[in-house]
Structure 1
Amino acid sequence: MRVTKKFLAPALIAAAAIALSGCAPTSAGPAASGSDSPAKAAVNVGMITSATGPLAAYGAAYTNGFKAGLDYATDGTGTVDGREINLTWADDQGNPDTAVAKAKDLIGQGYQILAGTVVSGIATSLAEQAAQNKVLYISGPAAADAVTGVNQYTFRSGRQTYQDVATAGTFIGDPSGKKIVVFAQDTAFGQGNLAGVKAVLGGKGATVDGVLVAEDATEFTPFAQQLIDAKPDLIFVAWAGATSGAMWEALQQQGVFDSTPVVTGLGDLSTYGAYGPASDKISFLSHYFQAATDNKASKAMVGYLEKHDAKADLFSPDGFVAAQMLVRAIGEGGGDNVDDMIASLEGWTFDSVKGEITVRAEDHAMIQPMFQAKLSQGADGTWKADLVKAVDADTVAPPVAKK
């Protein structure tokens, strides 16, 4: 009784056509001597995520979390109702075309369940394949709101952008009548965050303005002064890249933190030391960090990861939840009929690493708690995240997506 893992060989990844050994659905073998019934067929599952590429670290956290979740959900057996789970791991390399090619290959071999990816552009592309081919797809950490409600075949195992932005709004209570400034680079990423804050918090009555900075800017003192002069109730920072340290230092030196709450998203463990002197002054919205929860599932995940020389990180719960959903789809939905598996997941409420989670039946949104956090520095000079407040799932729940 085991989970059989199949990996795509690195030499084959670059090929236009990839042959996966033993991927076709097969019987688990003849019944044991003296048994009155044949052994149940194995269930084949395609796991598509970034093992290489710019988001490989996120892919690793998702993968490790999935392994912990499968161990937890199957009580260490790796089987569901006596059925083995054959996992085929495919590296999307952060590229939508690569991911779609591998998904088509797996679907062509009879796979009815796909899961994974940390990249929003890949998730939406795989969702399209799921609908076209009528297979179950459970996306991973990819945060795009567009994944929710995109079609009946697509679910998600992580949070979405709306929940991030709504969590930022909880730092000022009721957003109605409040002034919020989004401080970001003038890039697609920055503009997208500004649009998201306008849609979410502006939709709740806040006035939202943006201070957008050229991506190649290196002097941030004038922009820090603009933020102070705006006298907002909240500054939401969306920043990425090599200038992050200089930007945070400028905000610190100019006294921005003395007058206004400054909120940004808490990244993975590798980013905790990147904020410089501002580290303990920033208010962080968070999807997950290890100290955020201490329930049965979180203890199991942390313990499993430590046993396997890994750490609980930002997207570990997304993998853990995906495994729980997979076991539910096989155990309650049969594992063979896609419509039955979909029905088994819709409206399902279960306990997981972050607490109680509900798969909303109407659009497959994951209704889940979020967190407020702060960073603190230990005696050894390293930074750790501390829980400020758990934000109730309903408080940050996105509106039902229109189909």
Structure 2
Amino acid sequence: MKILTRFTATIVTSLALTSAGWAQDPIKIALLHGLSGSSFEAFSKQAQTGFELGLEYATGGTNEINGRPIEVIIKDTQFKPDVARAVLAEAYGDDEVLLAVGATSSGVTKGMLPIAEEYEKILIVEPAVADSLTGPDSNRYVFKTSRNSSMDMQAQAIALQPDENLFVATLAEDYAFGRDGIEAFKTALEGSGATVVTEEYVPQGTADFTAATERMFNALKDKEGRKVILVYVAGGGDAPGKIQALDPDRYGIEISMGGHILPVLPTYKRFPGMEGAVYYYYEAYDNPVNNWLVKTHMERFDSPPDFFTAGGMSAALAVVKTLQTATSYDTENLITAMEGMSWDTPKGVMTFRPEDHQALQSMVHFKIRVDEDVEWAIPDLVRIIEADEMNIPIGRNNN
């Protein structure tokens, strides 16, 4: 008996097999992400919307590749590593998908990597972030369209303009995403003269940050120079707001953090003028793909696309280009087509680095502006941080 009931996502009505004249079998793609059991569910839903829009855009609305219809099979990981492994195995085995895309949580996704190797089929990681997903424990069947923690943190370090007068305390969640991120941030600061004075890690789901905040205050308060608490927390709990409520201003301490999804940005109104880095903001990029995405999303959902929407679209665009250019759909030929491949996305051009299959991409340096007529704080573009400005460590070497 299968672990979960599968269903096919109808991307647009043309995806249904309504024409008896279609002689070729559909191209089956599994989309795996958490649809129940976590506050991260919103990320999953954005990624799915973006993936569907990406297939539509890349195929000119036909949802066909080389004359074959696309069939997307949705699997719910429930944000549990054991469930994720089971449903990925089910997708590769029972469902006979060509490739899979997922998942949402870095910790959950890490458990899926060996399944791709066991079945010798492609897994495109989106939207999970941790560096370790293309690290030594990964394998040659894994490609990653999502940004990684090193990109988050190198861009964040660039936005802070570090020098010997900068002192930073970090706060992150105690799992792969948080620890990889802080390690990347420290690496990005090397040679700048800046100092990380303490690192605080809290369990996922933490709601009380008082003790961690007091320890960060004590580590920073007597330093001579610019004093910053860097918050790198993906989940709920409102860590920045609770730190702000404990009055860091009395010690001359400021808060810095990366951008977030639109539903969270209203909370950034408490931090006007704050600078940081973010993966995507819909007004930051001006290119044909992003312009289509913004226009279409506004028309269909009466709201702009969020950054996991852009990520899902980028993954779909990578899938379509791969299948349009590969000499065959044998896994080895897919790998050959993908290694070093560049493709257009809402963020501009991305490129799969051959060595570890991480997609190199730009980031956005922003400064928060508050407009009372806008529901959320606006991360105004300071500049685009291009991929070649960041020295992203190679996670593994496939050669």
Common fold by TM > 0.5: yes
- Displacement, 1:304? 2.2
Name the CA distance, whole Å, in 1 between partners of 2:99 and 2:224. Answer: 51
For the Cα contact (< 8 Å) 1:287–1:314, is it kept in 2?
yes
Change (3 A) 1:327 1:217: closer
Name the CA distance, whole Å, in 2 between partners of 1:116 and 1:324. Answer: 15
Partner of 2:26: 42
Spell out, residue by residue over 1:158-192, the C-alpha distance to the aligned partner (whole angstroms, 9 max, x if none). Answer: 1000001100111244x575644123268557655
Structure 1 alignment gaps of length 5 or more? 1-14, 33-37
1:139-288 correspondence runs (5 A):
139-149=125-135, 150-173=138-161, 179-184=166-171, 187-188=174-175, 193-202=181-190, 206-210=194-198, 212=200, 216-218=208-210, 223-224=216-217, 226-233=219-226, 235=228, 236-239=230-233, 241-251=237-247, 253-254=249-250, 256=252, 262-275=255-268, 277=270, 279-288=271-280
Partner of 1:8: none
Change (3 A) 1:30 1:286: closer
Say yes or no: does 1:349 pair with 2:354: no
3-state DSSP of counterpart to 2:298: helix
- Displacement, 1:358? 1.0
Change (3 A) 1:367 1:397: farther
Change (3 A) 1:212 1:119: closer
- Kindly provide the amino acid, as one letter, of the partner of residue 88 in structure 1: I
Partner of 1:6: none
Partner of 1:291: 283
Name the CA distance, whole Å, in 2 between partners of 1:101 and 1:271. Answer: 32
- Displacement, 1:222? 7.8
Name the CA distance, whole Å, in 1 between partners of 2:232 and 2:6. Answer: 41
For the Cα contact (< 8 Å) 2:150–2:181, is it kept in 1?
no
Partner of 2:61: 76
For the Cα contact (< 8 Å) 1:225–1:254, is it kept in 2?
no
Partner of 1:67: 52
Alignment equivalent of 1:398, drawn from 383, 392, 395 = 392
- Displacement, 1:58? 0.3
3-state DSSP of counterpart to 1:152: coil
- Displacement, 1:156? 1.0
Change (3 A) 1:287 1:185: closer
Name the CA distance, whole Å, in 2 between partners of 1:297 and 1:225. Answer: 47
1:324-339 correspondence runs (5 A):
324-333=317-326, 336-339=329-332
Change (3 A) 1:42 1:95: same
For the Cα contact (< 8 Å) 2:98–2:121, is it kept in 1?
yes
Alignment equivalent of 1:303, drawn from 281, 295, 304 = 295
Say yes or no: does 1:90 pair with 2:75: yes
Partner of 1:53: 37
CA RMSD of aligned residues (A): 3.0
Q: Normalising to structure 2: TM-score of the pair? A: 0.84
Name the CA distance, whole Å, in 1 between partners of 2:249 and 2:314. Answer: 42
Name the CA distance, whole Å, in 2 between partners of 1:53 and 1:72. Answer: 31
Larger radius of gyration: 1
For the Cα contact (< 8 Å) 2:276–2:365, is it kept in 1?
yes
Q: Normalising to structure 1: TM-score of the pair? A: 0.83
Change (3 A) 1:203 1:192: farther
Number of aligned pairs? 375
For the Cα contact (< 8 Å) 2:154–2:184, is it kept in 1?
no
Change (3 A) 1:30 1:375: closer
- Kindly provide the amino acid, as one letter, of the partner of residue 37 in structure 2: G
For the Cα contact (< 8 Å) 2:273–2:369, is it kept in 1?
no
- Displacement, 1:105? 1.1
Name the CA distance, whole Å, in 2 between partners of 1:392 and 1:155. Answer: 20
3-state DSSP of counterpart to 1:290: coil
- Displacement, 1:390? 0.7
Change (3 A) 1:213 1:327: closer
For the Cα contact (< 8 Å) 2:171–2:201, is it kept in 1?
yes
